[in-house]
Amino acid sequence: MKNLLPLLFLALLFTACGGDSASTASSTATAPASGAALIEKPQLTFGFIKLTDMAPLAIAKELGYFEDEGLYVSVEAQSNWKNILDRVIDGQLDGAHMLAGQPIAASAGFGRQAELITPFSMDLNGNGITVSNDVWDKMKPNVPKGPDGKPAHPISAEALKPVIESYAAEGKPFKMGMVFPVSTHNYEIRYWLAAAGVNPGMYTADNIQGQVDAEVLLSVTPPPQMPATLEAGTIYGYCVGEPWNQQAVFKGIGVPVTTNSDVWKNNPEKVFAMRKDFAEKYPNTTKAITKALIRAGKWLDEPGNRPAAVGILAKSEYVGADSIVLANSMTGTFEFEKGDKREMPDFNVFYRYNATYPFYSDGVWFLTQMRRWGQISEPKVGEWYDEKIREVYRPDLWRGAAEALVAEGKIPASDIPDTDGYKPATADFIDGVTYDGKDPIGYINSFSIGNKDAK
């Protein structure tokens, strides 16, 4: 304890000065309040994109979970997903809210290559597919109605197919937006379209836009710019996270037609990613970060906390959207057509269903989509998928943090899943196709549109 006194004094001095001063000795190890192992790098900077699913970062900071672990964290909004990836790889950010596909693609050789890992999955679900009012008016006659006279959900892309065909007949390409080539959004909108027999295009060495043989032209738009790009008529629809689908409803410029929980029930969305060498150099810091984020996820899914979370996310330094727009999805509802607000308690999941655990099977799904659409250009054997995802997804780091939280009485032992890292096979997709993470080749070959590989 005697040796810790100077360090504790520095920590108290840091707090008294506001906690953000760059002049504080960031390399000085500090002891977290729990008395656990010393933190090798207490002063950290994390990046995020202005989306509701960055919430675990905001909550861990605002509720003091980072400080409980001896961490002094700054969180900084970034302009786009490429910027966030580059800044983590280059060491300007210590970690970040990131698309699940980004660290996987960096390891698999698509795009910029680097050794990144994730010890923490940030959420399940949380995305939607929105179309312009004009497109919705043309789709609506093709959408079945429920007993209440309202559109029956989930809405298949079968309802959009005649609209796409009418544009083609007029010589106009049908354009839609997604947020990044390796984003969940790209794979979800492709899955939704292909399930209805609409070809969303293939990636090749000569066409990195993924538009070979495409019946719908998909392009990248940063999330906060989606509503304005739709309103300008540059795109006719998009797939994005919240609050940018609800913003289209709020502004009266578009209608969400499906959510990604309809495309794949309880699908993984964002991850917290960092460099592999960071985790190796600062193991105690990595564990402390993961502990704080697990606690934040738990708080977010505890009954009654979402309104407070909305108030925090509405701050300009976080998502900065109107609290009414944020509450539309964050508090257990989702609005489709204006006035058609439906109960959707699982639209945003941050802890339930083992949401924070980085399952290998979740990561393998992204690899199958990269291969299906040609981002992974060469066939791979089935074992490659398991070997590759184990380089990126680190449930061992998650488990170490969770077990420490159990010992401290902060989470129950029952919240640690008994798993080999793979979820059971599921057919909870919009087309009813079964996905088994242990049979990636069989899964890829089950689709009529996309690459096929020999077993």
DSSP-derived secondary structure for 32-86: -TT--SPBS--EEEEEE-SSGGGHHHHHHHHTTHHHHTT-EEEEEE-S-HHHHHH
Polymer length in residues for the chain: 455
C-alpha 64/C-alpha 72 separation (Å) is 10
Cα distance between residue 377 and residue 210, in whole Å: 12
CB 104 within 8 Å of CB 385: no
- Rounded CA separation 339/358 (Å): 37
What are the chain's domains? 2-124+269-331+346-358+393-415 (3.40.190.10), 127-267 (3.40.190.10)
- Which amino acid is it at 225? Q
Whole-angstrom distance, CA of residue 261 vs CA of residue 346: 8
Q: What angle do CA 416, 422, 427 make, to 5 degrees?
A: 115
**Contacting residues for 250 by C-beta, under 8 A, at least 6 apart:** 322, 324, 325, 328
| pLDDT tens digits, 322-338 | 999 999 999 999 999 99
Instruction: Round to the nearest angstrom and report the end-to-end CA distance of the chain.
Output: 60
Residues of the chain short of pLDDT 70, as ranges, are: 1-36
pLDDT at position 33 is: 58
pLDDT recorded at residue 454 = 84
pLDDT of residue 11: 38
The residues, any chain, with a CB within 8 Å of residue 213's CB and separated by 6 or more, are 199, 201, 202
- Beta strand 95-99 with 270-275 is antiparallel
Distance between CA atoms of 82 and 34, rounded to whole angstroms?
37
User: What is the C-alpha separation between 75 and 46, in angstroms, rounded?
Assistant: 5
Tokens of 107: 């390891």
